């Protein structure tokens, strides 16, 4: 290919990692909910969209990106608490399709409410002050915000890992994802754990939305394609596997970015081809366990 250089490949790889960071973070919230509750949350993309809108709104209102970064996950987390307690919880024990259909309907309710509040045209994305422009990374100039996105996602994922591995609630979540009967025998209030997990998952979705908002169009439909892509990541990594979500998120981002360089028209198709190849070779995903959906 004419003009193809090592510097260009490195730039495209870094772009893929930045894109994959959003995929990884969003899929991580999705797989936490599925791994513990066995709920396929089709409203996850809508919470991502709500996070993006709230982030842009609070940034315009206060002028502080860091304030928005703090308050938006709290708001979407509270929305997750309400959703689990009053909508999802009555669906437990009725089969996996009941909460799936409920959250699917909830996603369209959130989209319509966003259209009513913010308008059908959406809102202009804003790059935070101090993170605009580019910086020399050795093989070219790369947007500062995308570098921040990579670093911020790495820190957030590390914090989530420490929470799961080192805290009491994290260990309860980890144990419950493997065998919930153990928690009941030990006297753990499993309903409270479910509530916490769903809230954390939706808070991560909202956080993903505000982090992604400067890199894409903020509109009421933005959560629909990202939901499909995050499910691809979840399936490739393995349903319910946090490690799989992170690894697959980065892999999908890189595949999308590299395909955009060589065949832009096939970029969106490439991630579904990747999913098909992985499922043929390893039906449970890269890090998933066989029979989890059974």
Instruction: Identify whether 286 is part of a domain.
Output: no
Q: Please write the tens of the pLDDT for every residue from 273-283.
A: 999 999 999 99
For the beta carbon of residue 247, count every other beta carbon within 10 angstroms.
Answer: 19
Distance CA 292, CA 294 (A): 5
Boundaries of domain holding 103 = 12-281
Look at residue 42 and tell me if it is in a domain.
yes
Q: What's the CA gap between 143 and 14, in Å, rounded?
A: 10
Does residue 273 sit within a domain? yes
d(CA 110, CA 162): 32
Q: Is residue 287 part of a domain?
A: no
Residue whose structure tokens are 């999705």: 30
CATH number at residue 263: 1.10.3470
> What is the model's pTM?
0.93
Q: What secondary structure letter does DSSP report for 157?
A: H
User: Residue 108's pLDDT is what?
Assistant: 96
Report if residue 151 sits inside a domain: yes
| 110 domain-assigned | yes
In a domain, 3, yes or no: no
Residue at 136 is within a domain: yes
Range 159-194 burial, b when 16+ CB lie within 10 A, else e: ebeeebeeeeebebbebbbeebeebeeeebeeeebb
Structural domain count of the chain:
1
Q: Are 7 and 140 in contact (CB under 8 A)?
A: yes
pLDDT, tens digit (0-9, with 9 covering 90-100), for 92-145: 888 888 999 999 999 999 999 999 999 988 888 888 888 999 999 988 999 999
């Amino acid at each position: 290919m004419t003009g193809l250089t090592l510097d260009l490949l490195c730039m495209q790889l870094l772009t893929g990692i930045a894109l994959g960071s959003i995929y990884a973070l969003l899929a991580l919230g999705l797989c936490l909910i599925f791994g513990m509750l066995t709920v396929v949350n089709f409203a996850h993309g809508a919470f991502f969209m709500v996070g993006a809108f709230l982030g842009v709104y609070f940034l315009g209102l206060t002028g502080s990106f860091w304030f928005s970064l703090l308050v938006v996950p709290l708001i979407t987390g509270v929305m997750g608490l309400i959703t689990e307690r009053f909508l999802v919880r009555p669906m437990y024990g009725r089969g996996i399709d009941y909460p799936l259909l409920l959250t699917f309907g909830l996603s369209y309710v959130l989209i319509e409410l966003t259209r009513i509040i913010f308008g059908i045209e959406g809102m202009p994305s804003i790059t935070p002050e101090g993170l605009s422009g580019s910086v020399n990374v050795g093989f070219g100039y790369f947007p500062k915000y995308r570098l921040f996105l990579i670093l911020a996602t790495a820190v957030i994922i590390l914090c989530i890992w420490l929470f799961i591995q080192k805290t009491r609630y994290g260990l309860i979540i980890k144990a419950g994802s493997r065998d919930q009967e153990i928690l009941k025998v030990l006297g753990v209030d499993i309903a409270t754990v479910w509530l916490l997990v769903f809230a954390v998952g939706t808070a991560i979705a909202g956080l993903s939305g505000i982090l992604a908002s400067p890199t894409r169009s903020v509109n009421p439909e933005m959560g629909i394609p990202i939901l499909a892509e995050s499910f691809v990541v979840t399936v490739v990594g393995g349903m319910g596997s946090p490690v799989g979500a992170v690894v697959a998120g980065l892999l999908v981002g890189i595949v999308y970015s590299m395909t955009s360089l060589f065949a832009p028209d096939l970029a969106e198709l490439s991630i579904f081809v990747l999913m098909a190849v992985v499922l043929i070779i390893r039906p449970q995903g890269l890090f998933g366990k066989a029979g989890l959906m059974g």
